[in-house]
C-alpha cells in the first residue's frame, strides 16, 4: 500500500482557498454553526450574557415577575429581530447538514440528472421543516389547552401578549422563512430561477410578519398547519416523482390536488371568520387602527389564496395539455408503426407472389 505524502494541514489541489466562494459553499455548515456556538457561549459570561440572551432567549416579558403564580407572557419587541436572525443562521446549518448527509446521498444512489437532483433536494430538504411546523403547532396547542377548545382562539385575538411557547414558535417560523433567502445562494440556485423563488418567499413572509405584529398568531397558527400539511404532500409527491417512481407519484399528486383545494377554502373561511370576530369586538378590546391593520393582513391572506388557486388551475391545465400532447404523440407513433407493419406485410406478400410466379415460369420452361 502506498502511503500518502500529504502532511497534516497541507492543502491539496482540490481544496479551495480560504475566504473564496467555493470554500464558503463547501464549509457553510461548519462556519455558521461555529458562529452560532460563539453567540451561545456568550451566555456563560456575565459581561456578554445580556447581549447573547437577546439572540437566544425569548425577550419582552410583560408579566409581574414578583408574582410566582402569574403565567409568563411576552410581547412583540425589537429583540425579536436578533432572535429571528440567530435562528435563521441555525436553520441554514441544519439545512446544510440535512442536504449533505441525507438527500445528496439518496440522490447519488438514484443516479438522478442535474435538473432532477436540484428539484429532489429542494423539495426533499424543506419537507422535514414543514412536518416540524405542523408538529410544533400541535404541541403548542396541547400545552396551552386549546386542542379541545378551538373557539377560545378568537377570544385571545388580537393578542397583546402571548405565552412563551407561542412566541418562540412564531420566532422560529419567521426565522425559517428568512433562512430561505440566503439558502438560494448556498443551494446554487440559477439566476433565472431566483426571481420566482424570491417572490414566493416574500409572499409567505409578508402575511406571517403581519399576523405576528398585529396579534393574529392564534388563528394564523391553524392556517399554518393547514397550509404546511398540503406542502408536505406536495413535497412528498415531487420527491417520489423525481426518484423515478411515476406510478406512485400520480396517486400522491391526486391526493395533494384535493387537499390543496380544501386547504385554500379552509384558510379563506378562517380568515373571514376572524374578520367578523374582530368586527364584533368593542373599541376597548381592539382599537380602530389595529382593526384596520388586522383587516389588511386578512385581505392579503385572502388575495394570496386566490393567487395560489389561480396558479393551481394553470398547473392543472398545463398538466392536461401535456398529457394530451403525450397521448397524441403516442397515438401517432402507434399509427406509424402499424402502417409500417402493414407495409412490411404487403411487401413480403408481393415478394412471395413474385417468387412464386418466377418459380412457375421456370417450371413451365
pLDDT of residue 342: 75
The span from the first CA to the last CA of the chain, in angstroms, equals: 83
Distance from C-alpha of 33 to C-alpha of 297, rounded to nearest angstrom: 35
CA nearest to 286, candidates 220, 215, 222: 215
pTM: 0.81
- Distance in angstroms (rounded) separating the CA atoms of residues 169 and 131: 14
C-alpha to C-alpha distance for 93 and 125, rounded to whole angstroms: 12
Q: What is the grid cell recorded at 17?
A: 482557498
Tens of pLDDT, residue by residue over 175-209, are 999 988 888 887 777 888 788 888 888 988 999 99
Instruction: Note the pLDDT tens digit of each residue in 281-310.
Output: 888 778 889 889 999 999 999 999 998 888
Question: Grid coordinates standing for 212?
Answer: 405576528
The 8-class DSSP code of residue 68 comes to T
The CA distance from 257 to 230, in Å, is 9
**What pLDDT sits at residue 300?**
92
Instruction: Name the percent of the chain in helix, strand, coil, to the closest 5.
Output: 80, 0, 20
Amino acid at each position: 500500500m502506498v502511503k500518502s505524502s500529504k502532511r497534516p494541514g497541507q492543502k491539496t489541489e482540490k481544496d479551495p482557498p480560504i475566504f473564496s466562494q467555493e470554500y464558503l459553499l463547501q464549509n457553510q455548515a461548519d462556519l455558521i454553526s461555529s458562529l452560532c456556538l460563539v453567540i451561545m457561549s456568550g451566555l456563560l459570561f456575565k459581561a456578554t450574557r445580556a447581549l447573547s440572551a437577546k439572540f437566544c432567549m425569548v425577550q419582552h416579558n410583560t408579566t409581574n415577575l414578583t408574582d410566582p403564580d402569574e403565567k409568563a407572557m411576552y410581547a412583540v419587541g425589537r429583540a425579536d429581530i436578533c432572535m429571528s436572525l440567530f435562528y435563521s443562521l441555525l436553520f441554514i446549518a441544519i439545512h446544510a447538514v440535512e442536504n449533505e448527509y441525507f438527500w445528496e446521498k439518496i440522490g447519488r444512489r438514484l443516479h438522478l440528472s442535474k435538473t432532477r437532483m436540484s428539484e429532489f433536494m429542494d423539495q426533499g430538504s424543506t419537507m422535514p421543516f414543514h412536518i416540524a411546523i405542523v408538529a410544533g403547532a400541535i404541541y403548542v396547542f396541547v400545552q396551552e389547552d386549546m386542542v379541545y377548545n378551538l373557539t377560545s382562539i378568537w377570544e385571545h385575538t388580537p393578542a397583546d401578549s402571548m405565552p412563551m411557547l407561542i412566541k418562540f414558535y412564531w420566532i422560529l417560523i419567521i426565522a425559517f422563512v428568512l433562512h430561505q433567502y440566503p439558502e438560494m445562494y448556498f443551494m446554487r440556485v440559477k439566476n433565472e430561477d431566483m426571481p420566482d423563488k424570491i417572490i414566493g418567499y416574500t409572499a409567505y413572509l409578508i402575511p406571517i410578519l403581519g399576523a405576528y405584529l398585529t396579534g393574529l398568531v392564534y388563528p394564523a397558527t391553524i392556517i399554518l398547519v393547514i397550509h404546511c400539511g398540503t406542502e408536505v404532500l406536495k413535497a412528498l409527491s415531487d420527491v417520489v416523482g423525481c426518484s423515478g417512481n411515476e406510478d406512485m407519484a400520480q396517486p400522491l399528486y391526486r391526493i395533494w390536488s384535493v387537499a390543496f383545494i380544501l386547504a385554500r377554502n379552509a384558510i379563506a373561511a378562517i380568515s373571514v371568520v376572524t374578520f367578523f370576530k374582530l368586527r364584533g369586538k368593542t373599541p376597548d378590546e381592539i382599537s380602530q387602527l389595529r382593526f384596520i391593520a388586522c383587516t389588511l393582513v386578512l385581505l392579503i391572506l385572502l388575495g394570496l389564496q386566490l393567487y395560489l388557486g389561480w396558479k393551481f388551475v394553470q398547473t392543472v391545465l398545463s398538466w392536461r395539455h401535456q398529457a394530451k400532447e403525450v397521448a397524441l404523440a403516442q397515438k401517432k407513433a402507434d399509427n406509424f408503426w402499424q402502417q409500417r407493419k402493414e407495409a412490411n406485410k404487403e411487401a413480403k406478400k408481393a415478394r412471395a407472389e413474385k417468387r412464386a410466379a418466377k418459380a412457375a415460369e421456370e417450371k413451365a420452361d
